Amino acid sequence: MEKEAGFEAAAVRLDDPWYDEPSPGWDELDGTGSGVPAPAQQGHSAADIYLEVQRSEAFREVRRRYRRFVVPAAVAFLLWYVAYVVAATTAHELMARPVAGAVNVAMVAGLGQFLTTFLLTWAYARHARLRRDRAALDLRWDTQEMTRGIGR
What is the residue type of 135? A
CB-count burial class (<10 Å; 0-12, 13-18, 19+) for 151: exposed
What pLDDT, on a 0 to 100 scale, did the predictor assign at position 133? 87
The pLDDT tens digits of the residues spanning 92-128 come to: 999 999 889 889 999 999 999 999 999 999 999 999 9
Which of the residues in the chain have pLDDT under 70?
1-44, 149-152
Q: What pTM value is reported for the model?
A: 0.59
Q: What is the structure's pLDDT at 39?
A: 38
CB neighbour class for 31 (10 Å; exposed up to 12, middle 13-18, buried from 19) = exposed
At 104, phi and psi to the nearest 5?
A: -115, 180
Q: Say if CB 30 and CB 38 are below 8 A apart.
A: yes
Q: Note the pLDDT of residue 40.
A: 43
For residue 51, the model assigns a pLDDT of 86
Burial class (CB in 10 A: 0-12, 13-18, 19+), 47: exposed
